[in-house]
A and B are shown apart, each in its own frame.
Chain A
Amino acid sequence: MYLTKPKLIDIVSKQVRFKLNANAVSFSILVFLQLLALALSFPSMTSIDHELDVSLVEVSVTSHVIFAVLWTFFSGIHLANCTKWNETFTFVTTRFTHHLSNFFYMVIASFIASVMTVLASPTLRLLTYMRYDEIPQSPLTIIEAPMDFFIQFITAFLYLLLFFVIGYVIQSFVQMNGLLGSVYLIAIIFSLFIINGIFGVPLISNLVLAFLQERSLFLFSLKVIGAIAVLFSLSIWMTNRLEVRKS
């Protein structure tokens, strides 16, 4: 009997392609959110001194960042849900190749989201120029400071990938434990606050500050990659025995 002898890399690449096709709507949502953020952040001129005729045009990409973070987080939840799990098993897969292809999908999606987020700033500057004939001052232009632009991109990419994986691991946890999953999750988060309250150990804030206060790009990257590796391994471990098409 002739049997197909698949290569892991072939199956993973086929799955990544399948997931990109299957989640095309998700990318449309990202584009919509970025356009919405653009509309919300559309530069408006504020007059600050009438006598000297000085006006201020403020350009901010905060909405773009917030929307991108929310998109990656909820996309992570969506990607690890039961329906997506069963969809993959309609075709050729194992639990491991499913997770691996999901990871590559998340890398691609985070890359696209971070490019869009980082390009929001020059887009807004261009819009300001078109609207007011003024170019807002910014230390971060790709021509004047390409390295800063690169750092901005890497930081955005790593943060977005981290939020993607956080959403993914939360949904994996819920999927493993069924309805009780959400209860367990709330209990875990609640217990962290209790530890903080009783023992004065601010675990959550320490953890968040460890990322926010990091000034070295190398150390920051290491921390985020480490966190992603831990969370993603946890997700694989939790669902490695999970049933498919559970009735």
Chain B
Amino acid sequence: MTVITCQNVTKSYRSYNVLNDIQFDIKENTLTGIIGRNGVGKTTLMKMIAGYTEVDAGKLEVFSENPFNNLIVSSNTVFIDDTMTFPESMTIQDIFKECKRFFDRWDNQLATRLSTYSGLHPKTKPYILSKGKRSIFHAIIGIASRSPLTIFDEPTNGMDAVVRKDFYRALLKDYIAHPRTILLSSHHIEEIENLLEDVLLIHNQTILFHGSITDLQERFITLMGTEQKLGNYMDSDDVIALQKIDSYVTLTMKNRFTEQEFEVMRENGIHVSNVSANDAYVALTGKSKGGIDDVFN
């Protein structure tokens, strides 16, 4: 079953076009990463899905309903980001009580255990927490609510590396035990690539890629060797990224090679390797020319 259907959706803020004619479907019970460079419209897209802002044109459906001002969508969705606000007078314990009343699938025991593990005292008021601790608190609400559609917009902002690892592990464990549709955006794609099933890559106001992590990785290949050996490939239109340190070159290219061609490359001393999801993402969204290296050349 499809949980989110997006057809020809366009969204602008005044004269600035954020998303243009985007289309995709997200299936039930998948963990999808929303990735893209800063300011490409990841948050805007997720806010439209949560019904927080309206689409300008096109059709967006969540649980077969228009999410804007929709009580069914709101009842089955939780949106976690670092701008969540809670009443200043309420403690963590009070907020968990409210969550229990509002979210049908809320697991209060899990929320309490996670907050104890994270060192959050139940009598603490969230507004006095540090940025990292506040992000942990928000993440706990996201996990424990077990909403059929759970949206995390850069949930690890402010968390240190250890806590981020714990969060991803907790999310994965709970997702396996209680499958649901999860959207997760993060700048640390290298940290979440083993977690994600699908990736939705937004670039230049459109969806550049939507598919499995493996499909994304298989689109590219990395060749490493001396400039002399890679000279034939460097001028190819398939080159996505080129890095040169002295005479040693690293090329990230579109993968159009056959196994026989790889064998020839290896015999010629060219090192062939698969790209990580992060490299594939950088390759798709970065510039082959005019990159940061050119600033120093």
Contact = CB atoms under 8 A, between A and B. Distances in A.
B148 interface: yes
Given A18-B98, A94-B69, A4 B75 contact: yes
A230 interface: no
A91 B84 CA distance: 10
Given A3-B76, A5-B72, A11-B75, A91 B98 contact: yes
Nearest to B90: A22
Interface string B53-90: 11000000001000001111011100101011111011
Interface residues of A, number: 34
Contacts of B148: 1-4
A92 B89 contact: no
A5 B73 CA distance: 9
B94 interface: yes
A90 interface: yes
B233 interface: no
Given A21-B94, A91-B102, A244-B53, A6 B71 contact: yes
A87 B89 contact: no
A49 B86 CA distance: 60
A123 to B, nearest CB: 28
A241 B52 contact: no
A157 B180 CA distance: 48
Q: Is the interface of A mostly helix, strand, loop or mixed?
A: loop
Interface string A1-22: 1111110100100100110011
B175 interface: no
A244 B52 contact: yes
Contacts of A46: none
B110 interface: no
A1 B89 contact: no
Contacts of B87: 21-23, 87
A90 B84 contact: yes
A92 B90 contact: no
B103 A92 contact: yes
A67 B69 CA distance: 37
A27 to B, nearest CB: 11
Contact of A6 (B53, B72, B94, B99): B72
Contact of B54 (A23, A94, A241): A241
A81 B43 CA distance: 23
A178 to B, nearest CB: 12
Interface string A207-247: 00000000000000000000000000000000011011101
B291 to A, nearest CB: 29
B295 interface: no
B28 interface: yes
B69 to A, nearest CB: 5
B74 A92 contact: yes
Interface string B28-67: 1000000000000001000100111110000000010000
A48 interface: no
A119 B104 CA distance: 42
Given A1-B1, A240-B69, A243-B47, A89 B52 contact: yes
Interface in A68-112: 83, 86-87, 89-97
Contacts of B50: 244
A87 B98 CA distance: 12
A25 interface: yes
Interface of B: 1, 3, 28, 43, 47, 50-54, 63, 69-72, 74-76, 79, 81, 83-87, 89-90, 94, 98-99, 101-104, 148
Given A2-B148, A4-B148, A94-B74, 6 more contacts: A1-B1, A3-B63, A4-B104, A5-B72, A17-B101, A245-B84
Kindly list the 10 A-B residue pairs having the minimum CB-CB distance in the complex, ordered from nearest.
Answer: A22-B87, A244-B52, A91-B102, A6-B75, A4-B75, A243-B53, A94-B69, A86-B85, A245-B83, A4-B104
23 contacts: A3-B72, A4-B75, A6-B71, A6-B72, A14-B102, A21-B87, A23-B87, A24-B89, A87-B85, A87-B86, A87-B87, A89-B52, A90-B85, A90-B86, A91-B98, A91-B99, A91-B102, A91-B103, A92-B71, A97-B71, A243-B52, A244-B50, A245-B52
